Amino acid sequence: MTPSGNIDDVRTEVVALKARLDSRDDGPWYKKPSVVISLLALIFSFGTTVFSAYNSYQDEIRANRLDVRTILQRLSKLPLENYELLQKYKGQGQAEALSGMINQENILLATQAVQLLHRFPNSFTSTEFYAVGYALSQSNIMGEVPKLYQRAMDLATTSNDYLVAARAYGGYQYGRGEYTEGKRLYNEALSVWNKFPERNTFIVNSSDVITLINWSGSDFMVGNKVEARERLVDARKRWAVIAPISGPMIDTLKNQIDYIARYVDAP
């Protein structure tokens, strides 16, 4: 007998067996133990697979976040290392070379961080988006910066998170020549209390002073000296409200106002 003949015989038997099984009426399927056991086994197997996949996904997210945090820790140290090198080798050729190497490391790490952020964007906070955006801006790699700053603003859960991102984004827009958009962002920073109400007048006024100092600096850098002076006037008014409190923070704010005033108020 040929192989094809065997196959045909098997097929015939399978069809006949199926017909006999179909013709049997043993009652509802849920009363058949074999069917119920098979169904339960299938459900258990499916649940185990889903649970395993979910755990694997969560492990991947945790590992990804850990990688980003490790990168951010390194990025936070680079500006200080760069400053120390420039001071140590001041006036020497290797200072610029070493500084360039640190800048390259900053670019590589920040770019890698962006890729990791995009893998699981919903697993990161406002602070992390801002930190990566700031690192890129320091190396003048601006492509992703506005998206990162905007994301940081959208995810902000505190006034401080929102302020840091809005100020940086406003300065970024001034640097691109987008003054209208830059002003809008600085105004949003001043209006942050509508989003995050704060009763502590010291926090409100000191935060506004910092925003106005940054805004004044942005105007000054692009040649808008008249508007830069107006920002400083507003900053001094807010500083005067909290000046009677006294303390290191008050002195620091006053020093920052005086420092930028040397340039803004100069003829």
pLDDT tens readout for residues 127-183: 999 999 999 998 888 889 999 999 999 999 999 999 999 999 999 999 999 999 999
User: Which has more pLDDT, 81 or 33?
Assistant: 81
With tokens 């406002």, the residue in question is 126
Specify the pLDDT at position 49: 78
61 contacts 121 by C-beta, under 8 angstroms = no
What confidence category does residue 30 fall into, taking pLDDT thresholds of 50, 70 and 90? low
What confidence category does residue 51 fall into, taking pLDDT thresholds of 50, 70 and 90? confident
What confidence category does residue 40 fall into, taking pLDDT thresholds of 50, 70 and 90? confident
Q: Tell me, yes or no, whether 95 lies in a domain.
A: yes
Q: Tell me, yes or no, whether 91 lies in a domain.
A: yes
Q: Residue 20: pLDDT above 60?
A: no
pTM of full prediction above 0.85: no
Q: Of 87-101, 152-166, 169-183, 195-209, where does mean pLDDT reach its minimum?
A: 87-101
Q: Tell me, yes or no, whether 80 lies in a domain.
A: yes
What confidence category does residue 37 fall into, taking pLDDT thresholds of 50, 70 and 90? confident
Q: Tell me, yes or no, whether 40 lies in a domain.
A: no
Domain count, the chain: 1
How far apart, in whole angstroms, are the C-alpha atoms of residue 258 and residue 264? 10
Query: Percent of the chain scored above 90 by pLDDT?
Result: 64
Instruction: Give the mean pLDDT of 104-128.
Output: 94
How far apart, in whole angstroms, are the C-alpha atoms of residue 247 and residue 254? 11
Q: Tell me, yes or no, whether 88 lies in a domain.
A: yes
How far apart, in whole angstroms, are the C-alpha atoms of residue 67 and residue 64? 5
Q: Tell me, yes or no, whether 122 lies in a domain.
A: yes
With tokens 């002073």, the residue in question is 209
Specify the pLDDT at position 142: 81
Give me the domain span that covers residue 71: 57-155
Phi-psi region of 28 (alpha: psi -120 to 50; beta: other; left: phi over 0): beta
Q: Of 5-9, 126-130, 214-218, 258-262, where does mean pLDDT reach its minimum?
A: 5-9
Q: Residue 75: pLDDT above 90?
A: yes
Specify the pLDDT at position 219: 96
- Greatest mean pLDDT among 13-17, 79-83, 196-200: 196-200
